[in-house]
Each structure stands twice: as C-alpha cells, then as structure tokens.
Structure 1
Amino acid sequence: MRPSSDKPSGAASSGALPWTAILRQWTDAVLYSSTWLALAALALTWATFLFWRVDIPWRLAVLIFAATLFLYNIDSVLPYKFQQQLVLSGRKRWMLAHRRELFALAIAALVVAAVLFFLDGWQHLTLFLGHLAAISLLYSLPLVKWRSRWRALRDLPLLKVFLIAYVWAAVTVWIPALYLGKPLAAPLVLVLFARRFCFILALAFVFDIRDYTKDRLTGTLTFPGVFGVRATKLFALAVLAVANVLLPWGVSSAHLLALLLPSVLAAAVIWYADETRPDYYFALLTDGVMIVQFLAVYWAT
C-alpha cells in the first residue's frame, strides 16, 4: 500500500531508503564482493610481519589485497556456477545481480596486482607464486570431464579444505618470510606455516558445513557429506587445538593470551555452524575471526 499523498512521511515519501537498508546494501557489497575476505588475507599477512616485529610494506599489503580480490571475484563470476540447478542463497543472488561489477572489480584488482608484481621485482618468484595462483584459479574451474560432468580441483574427494588451507598459509606466512629473506625450511617458519595451516583448515570446515546440501547435489564429497556434520565439527575443533599447540618459541605471555581470544571465537563459530545459518554468519563472522586474530596480535606486539 502506498503512503497517502497528502501525508508525506520522511524517507518513504521522498523515495529515500531508511538507514538500515543503506547499511544492509553496503554490508552486502563489502562481504559479497570479497572485500572483507581480502582484508582478512591482508590482516593475516600483517600478523606474520608483526611476529617478526616488522611493519608490512604498504605496496606488498596492496598486492596481497588486490590479488585476493581478483582471485575470489573471478571465481565468483564463472558462468558454470550460475548454470547449476540449485536453490541460490541470498549471497549467490547478490553475486548474480552484480556479475558485471564483480568482473570489473576483478580486472581492476588484477591490473593493480600485476603492476605491483613487476614494479617490486617479484619476477624471481614467478614459479612459486604461479603455483598458488594456479591452485586458486583451478579450484573451481572445470578441467576434466568425468561421469558426464566437468570436474574441478574442489571436486576431488575431501580435498578442497586442504587446498584452501595450503594457499592461505602459503600466502600469509611464506610470502612475508620470503620478503624478509628467511628460508622457508627454517624451523620457525615451518612452525608458523603449520600453525596457520591448521587455523585456516579448521575454519574451512565451516564452509563445507555451509555447502553441505549443495555439495551433495553436485556430487562433491566433503567431510560433512562423508562423515557427518557433527564429526566434521569435532575434527575441526581437534585441528584448531593442534594450531594452538604449535606455538613458536620465544612468544611472550601477552602474545599467547592475545591468541587465545581468536581461538575461542573460532571454536564457537565452528561448533554453532549450520547450513541454515544466515549468509552473514559465514561471510562476516567466520571470515572475521581472521581479522580478530590480527587485532589480537597487533595489541600484543
């Protein structure tokens, strides 16, 4: 029903959106354009630099942010994803409605990342960085036709969470180590990598739980589909516990205490994860745990 024309009433009469609707629109844009996720990648990379008490170079920070923005947005606009006969979530509907904008954002991010890659002399690491980019791009890109359906890396049984954890740990731990001239095989670097791998792996199981029905419909074998949701949560909590045991030596008591908060939050997010949770639970809260970890490290440094 339209408001009466002789009784104009604030935003409704002027056609303006209420502030809650505007806030919702901007929140959706930040979350579903992967901007929040790119900030999480930057935050974890920064946290690694903070461990070595070095400020992250701003150009490297922009490179990490832009590369993450490109990879996730180019993945989100792949045509085959919108051809799947599945019930679309609010997040997927938003992406479908903004495919052109997401593609433009991905291209702009790629240009920024490529310029910084060449200006800052990362060419000697082309092979190393290239294999991470290849895993990220081929994660969802159909490569092989098997049993009348095109398959991507994520379709390999039980593999997708490990791919995610490996790429994120490599970017957020190994790249800072390489920048600072630290050997990747150094014991301290290996401990930091293993800790970050387990932390991301534990969170990645939450997204497997979110995609439980979709993965079953598409024939993708994941931990929840094979072992059940409850067993997956218990395994994720065990992996998170391992992450908290893998402590680098020389860490102060304040640093250890600060790291406890994101671990507790991560455990709660894992335990209460369910595919019926709203999109914000996963896009805002689960990814936000990574930013909380950075804030905890920043506070303790």
Structure 2
Amino acid sequence: MKQLAPIGDVLMGSNLWLAIGASSMISASIFCLKGAWEWNELEIWVFFATLSLYNWHRVLGFKKNRPNHTVTTWVDSHHQTILVLALLASFCAGVLYLLLPLKVQLALLIPCALGLSYSLPIFPKQKRLRDVPRLKILVLASVWAWVVVCLPRIFTNIPLSPITGVFFLEKWLFFFAIAIGFDIRDVAFDLSQGVLTLPGKLGIKAAKSIGILALLLAIGIGTSLYAGQYYSLSVYAADLVCLMCTGLLLLLASPERSPAFFNLLLDGMLILQPLGIWFFSFVG
C-alpha cells in the first residue's frame, strides 16, 4: 500500500481523479441515453474544464490559510506543476469549448460563470461564491447536476422535458450528499473564515442525517425511474450501489479523516457509478 501512496498523492493533488470522475459521469449519462459507450468532445471538455477549475482553486489556495488535513505533501512540493497543469487544462478546455455545438456552448455559460465565481475572488473584499454563507453547497450540487444530466441531453439532441427534472433531482441529491461530506471535512476551517455550512450550523451528526435523507430520497427516485422503465436494470443496480456506498462513506466521515478518504473514496463515487453501469451491463 505504501508503494501506491505516491500515485494517490498525484491523483488527489493534481485533481486528475476528480476530472476522470466528472468525465466518466458524462460518459455514463450518454450511455443511458443512447445505449452505447462512446468517446466524444463533451466528455473531453468536461475532463479539462474540471481539471482547470479545481487546479485554479488550488493555486489560489496557496496564498490562503488552508485546512492542513486537506493538504498532501505532493501539493505542497509541486506548486509550479499545479500552476502549469491549470494553464494547460485551461487552454485545452478553451479550444474544445469552441468545438462544441453552439447550443452546448450557450448551455455552459451560466455553469461556467458559477464555477469561476466559486473559485475566483470576484466579489468585494476578495470573496468567492464559496465564501457566501449557505450558498456554497447549493451552487455545487446544482452545477454538477446540470452538467451531468442536462448537458448530455443537449449534446445528443434530446429535448429537455419534465422527466429531465426528475433525473436532475436525483443527481442533485447525490451531489448534495457528497458536498455535505466535504463540508464535514472543512467544518473547522469554514467556521474560522466565517463561512456557515450545514455541519457548522447544525452540527456534524445533523448534517450527516440530512445527507443520508437526501440519499434515501435519491434511491426512491431511482427506484421510480426503474419502475417507469427510464432506467435499465444495469443502470439502476449501479445507481443503487453507488448511493449506498456514498451513504456509508458519509456515515464514516469526520474532520479527522485522511485526505484519501475524501479525495479518493468520496470523489471516487463519481467513478464507481459509471464503472458499475459498465460492469452490470457486461455481466447482464
């Protein structure tokens, strides 16, 4: 396991693991819509856009009082690498954005603006959107759900309909629960910065209860989608496994957990679901 530690540090510190997860979720969404796995420019754009956004967030964090438990040795000794990675990813995301269909470009304007304002200090007193009390978790869940649910439909020329809202709500609850996990990790730091989150306001136990309730609601919605034949058995099974594993991790979450618990395992739920869909489709 010690031999694998440097690989884990690179995946966490560079945000490669998260970018792979985001791209994988897009791939899984398109599979659900078309019934086939395919490699396309939207998945690649999401990979580089995620890599760019979260590495700029890390670059800006170099000058701030970051919570020690989220900082790996690799990050602290590779500031220049992360900066170069952020620049390269931004360039690739910019070029790929121009290659996307116009309707997708337009659908990305608001999510991109929210994503940039989340990481960049564009508000008075050098504040970011993540520093606005109670707004951080809502923005995160909404942007991720929009990108994963709505963008693939727009990209594949499938009209948004009322049922799209049901898919959106299920994924929103999933990302909401994951965001609560990271708020638990950062509870002390957020309180010190005056950022009010669910764990900071209600306590960690209450925040966990809310997260588990969100996941139970997501399971209920997923079951309804399967009963209505909007989900195949393989998609539903993978969805169920992913939501239950997310719930288990949320129950185990605490501010004392290692960076790997959050940045590899909890973020890894974005990879587990697509991987589960592939596995259950293969064995089925």
Which position in structure 2 is the counterpart of 1:100? 80
Give the alignment partner of residue 67 of structure 1, picking from 42, 49, 66.
49
Q: CA deviation at 1:133?
A: 1.2
Distance 1:103 1:122, change over 3 A: farther
| 1:128 counterpart = 2:107 | yes
Residue deviations 1:130-157 (CA, integer Å, cap 9, x gap): 2111111111322333xxx532111222
TM-score normalised to the size of structure 2? Answer: 0.90
Equivalent AA in structure 1 for residue 183 of structure 2? D
Runs of 4 or more off by more than 4 Å in structure 1?
A: none
Which position in structure 2 is the counterpart of 1:43? 24
| 1:27 counterpart = 2:8 | yes
Distance 1:300 1:95, change over 3 A: same
Equivalent AA in structure 2 for residue 286 of structure 1? L
Task: Report SS of the residue matched to 2:126.
Answer: strand
Check conservation: 2:117, 2:129, Cα contact below 8 A: yes
| 1:212 counterpart = 2:187 | yes
Check conservation: 1:135, 1:163, Cα contact below 8 A: yes
Which position in structure 2 is the counterpart of 1:139? 118
Q: Structure 1 regions of 5+ residues with no counterpart?
A: 1-18
- Identical residues among aligned pairs (%): 31
Distance 1:92 1:163, change over 3 A: farther
Give the alignment partner of residue 283 of structure 1, picking from 247, 258, 263.
263
Check conservation: 1:144, 1:151, Cα contact below 8 A: yes
Distance 1:219 1:191, change over 3 A: same
Residue deviations 1:194-253 (CA, integer Å, cap 9, x gap): 111111111110000000110011110000010100000000001111111123231344
Which position in structure 1 is the counterpart of 2:172? 197
Check conservation: 2:8, 2:264, Cα contact below 8 A: no
Equivalent AA in structure 1 for residue 144 of structure 2? W
Provide the rounded CA distance (Å) in 2 between the counterparts of 1:65 and 1:229.
Answer: 32
Q: CA deviation at 1:257?
A: 2.9
Provide the rounded CA distance (Å) in 1 between the counterparts of 2:146 and 2:241.
Answer: 23
| 1:242 counterpart = 2:223 | no
Distance 1:155 1:200, change over 3 A: same
Provide the rounded CA distance (Å) in 2 between the counterparts of 1:87 and 1:289.
Answer: 23
Q: Greater share of helix residues, 1 or 2?
A: 2
TM-score normalised to the size of structure 1? Answer: 0.85
Which position in structure 2 is the counterpart of 1:159? 135
Which position in structure 2 is the counterpart of 1:294? 274
| 1:176 counterpart = 2:176 | no
Equivalent AA in structure 1 for residue 153 of structure 2? A
Provide the rounded CA distance (Å) in 2 between the counterparts of 1:256 and 1:121.
Answer: 30
Q: CA deviation at 1:90?
A: 5.6
1:77-116 alignment to 2 at 5 Å?
77-78=59-60, 81-85=61-65, 88-89=68-69, 91=71, 94-116=74-96
Distance 1:43 1:86, change over 3 A: closer
CA RMSD, 1 decimal: 1.9
Q: CA deviation at 1:93?
A: 5.1
- Count of aligned positions: 275
Larger-gyration structure (1/2)? 1
Distance 1:85 1:258, change over 3 A: closer
Q: Structure 2 regions of 5+ residues with no counterpart?
A: none
Q: CA deviation at 1:275?
A: 0.4
Check conservation: 1:75, 1:137, Cα contact below 8 A: no
